[in-house]
Structure 1
Amino acid sequence: MSTGLKKHLRRLTLLLTAPLLVGWLLGHPALVLALALAVYAGWMLHQLNRLHRWLERSNQEAEPPEAPGLWGEVLDDIYRLQKRHLRARDRLQSMINRIRESTNALRDGVVMTDAAGAMEWWNRAAENLCGFNSTQDQGEYIHNLIRTPEFRSYFEAKAYAEPLEIESPARPRTRLQIEINLFGEDDRLITIKDVTRLYQLEKMRRDFVSNVSHEMRTPLTVLSGYLETLAEQTDRMPSGWQRPMDAMRHQANRMEALITDLLLLSRLETSDRNTGDAECRPADLLRQIQQDAMALSGDQEHEIELRIGDNRRIRGDAEQLRSAFSNIIFNAVKYTPGGGHIRIDYSAGSEGISVSVTDDGPGIDPEHIPRLTERFYRADPSRSKETGGTGLGLAIVKHILYNHDGYLSIDSTPNSGSTFRCHLPANRIIPENGQ
């Protein structure tokens, strides 16, 4: 018990005892006691009113009013708590100001919105990149300012594993990359980057590859044609010319396959991801590819097993999917030793669409797996030369699956075979027969 409270209790005891004694001497103890309590209650209300007026003042740093006893201690304690609160508030405000200054110094835009998209705060870079107005757009919905259907779909989907690229709503010929992170109660932290230069460089690279491939195709066709003509005249050629002729035909075929893959990859990279209107039946595609794979195997006599778990149609480009599936199946044939077993599994259900190719070949070292879908990357360059690979097959597969909202996963262990699996979302399945 504090000293002030003890003093207050002693005073209250005296206050009650003295009126009782005086009232007893006057013959009216109850009346005198009631008057004393009324005076005491009035004094307490007066002190409470002084406290209330002090707390109402706009200047919270003002000294508290003087008061005796327990009221003085209460006022002093409140004043100390108030000072501590003000110091903590100043520290927090200083930290917030520092964070705002640092984010305003960023070249990337930063925007905070609530779950519905109402804008709560953004930095100067966001104003420059997207044209936001600090005096008018507070509380405005961000999809009313970035009027791009792709952005609204991206914002509402809550699938933020991959960033979104759009044109700037305020700066012509500016390409923006947008990333969203969830925090709090589905609030959004949006990062906006200017990737115009990278976009232009990537476009220049694609155009260069496409143009060079087209330009190379014509002279290569001429060379291949003359080589084929010369091959028909081998009986008239000196015996020493046969080997260089075969080598030239082989290299010309490799160059033609490389140009074909480069053009296909360039077309996939530059085309829109519009495959929702096309339809195909993967089971039929896989049966045809199985026959082609058996023909490719030839004398090696691989055992190629096909398991079909669903026969429904899906939304997708048949030619693109044929290219993707055949790439991983033909790779399994090329890299699996003769007589090996290759199993193709197809399934479609609520968890999605899956095409997996499993072989019992030499497998792949784990360090190579993350880079297998890069252009021209080869886990074993010497074997790729033997099989005639271009190093673009899995890059093509990755882009085709991306165009279909899917992805490629690879599981492999050295000397224990590999599994390449194509994943597509379940919403691409077309229901049939009431399913």
Structure 2
Amino acid sequence: MTSSKQVEKLKDDFVSVVSHELRTPLTAIKGYTQHLVRRIERRLHKLRSSENPANDLPENQDLRSLSIIQSQTEHLERLVNDLLDLSQVQWGQIHLHYETFELAAVLTDLVRSIQASAEQHLLTLEIAVQDAKVVADRARIEQVIGNVLDNAVKYSPHGVRLSLNCKYKATVITSA
């Protein structure tokens, strides 16, 4: 192995180790944030059912703050996964995991997640076909669309409305 290939391999190994090490705290942050969100949502539900409008309660602001933490944690998780994927692509070791899923649901979840931390933008989603099922690597689809949305938010002027219009047509290929 040449010197430059050894350096490249060491760099990729480092990126891989760092990516894996970052996943542990991110998983804990995500888990505890989700736990707190559920607790606050239950508390707000009780308050609302007791004929209290609950619009000006501090729990509403806490819920908003936790949504931002959750969204930013997901963003950081995507960045870590991108680093790991880059290393795997360079060495021809990337593996795709195909599954059937509703594309509209994935798009809706991504827009909702990114909107939580993109206070300066309004994200809208228009889907022409609601019940389209796709067979693909769900994580990779989320990764690509998440990166597109993250870049749209990052590189668009503040206060701009960002729209994601989905008019897709599926082609089914069968073999005899």
**TM-score with structure 2 setting the length:** 0.53
CA shift digits 1:244-299 (9 cap, x unpaired): xxxxxxxxx9x998655321322345335655x4222211100001101211212x
Given the alignment of the two structures, is residue 292 of structure 1 paired with residue 113 of structure 2, yes or no?
yes
1:307 to 126, 129, 132: 126
Q: Residue 209 of structure 1 aligns with which residue?
A: 11
- CA change 1:257–1:202 in 2 (3 A) is farther
2:144 to 292, 301, 324: 324
2:167 to 347, 352, 376: 347
- CA change 1:283–1:268 in 2 (3 A) is farther
1:61-210 equivalences in 2 (<5 Å): 207-210=9-12
How far apart in 2 are the matches of 1:278 and 1:206? Answer: 33
Q: Residue 265 of structure 1 aligns with which residue?
A: 86
- CA change 1:297–1:258 in 2 (3 A) is closer
Is the Cα–Cα contact under 8 Å of residues 123 and 161 in structure 2 kept in the other structure?
yes
- CA change 1:274–1:217 in 2 (3 A) is closer
- Which structure has the larger Rg? 1
Q: Percent identity?
A: 21
Is the Cα–Cα contact under 8 Å of residues 22 and 80 in structure 2 kept in the other structure?
no
CA shift digits 1:163-221 (9 cap, x unpaired): xxxxxxxxxxxxxxxxxxxxxxxxxxxxxxxxxx9xx9998676433311144468989
Unaligned regions of 5+ residues in structure 1, if any? Answer: 1-196, 222-252, 353-425, 429-435
Structure 1 residue 339: deviation in Å? Answer: 1.4
For the residue of structure 2 that corresponds to 1:278, the secondary structure is strand
Q: Which has the higher helix share?
A: 2
How far apart in 1 are the matches of 2:136 and 2:16? Answer: 27
How far apart in 2 are the matches of 1:201 and 1:328? Answer: 36
Q: Residue 102 of structure 2 aligns with which residue?
A: 281
- CA change 1:279–1:208 in 2 (3 A) is farther
Is the Cα–Cα contact under 8 Å of residues 19 and 84 in structure 2 kept in the other structure?
no
Q: Which amino acid aligns with 1:295?
A: A
How far apart in 2 are the matches of 1:297 and 1:288? Answer: 14
CA shift digits 1:326-361 (9 cap, x unpaired): 110111111112210211011222xx5xxxxxxxxx
Is the Cα–Cα contact under 8 Å of residues 213 and 259 in structure 1 kept in the other structure?
no
How far apart in 2 are the matches of 1:297 and 1:347? Answer: 24
How far apart in 2 are the matches of 1:319 and 1:220? Answer: 18
Q: Which amino acid aligns with 1:213?
A: V
Q: Which amino acid aligns with 1:271?
A: Q
Q: Which amino acid aligns with 2:156?
A: T
Q: Which amino acid aligns with 1:324?
A: V
Q: What count of residue pairs does the alignment treat as equivalent?
A: 120
CA shift digits 1:369-418 (9 cap, x unpaired): xxxxxxxxxxxxxxxxxxxxxxxxxxxxxxxxxxxxxxxxxxxxxxxxxx
For the residue of structure 2 that corresponds to 1:337, the secondary structure is coil
- CA change 1:216–1:306 in 2 (3 A) is closer
Higher relative contact order (CA 8 A, sep 6+): 2
How far apart in 2 are the matches of 1:206 and 1:427? Answer: 41
CA shift digits 1:96-137 (9 cap, x unpaired): xxxxxxxxxxxxxxxxxxxxxxxxxxxxxxxxxxxxxxxxxx
Is the Cα–Cα contact under 8 Å of residues 280 and 317 in structure 1 kept in the other structure?
no
For the residue of structure 2 that corresponds to 1:338, the secondary structure is coil
- CA change 1:258–1:281 in 2 (3 A) is closer
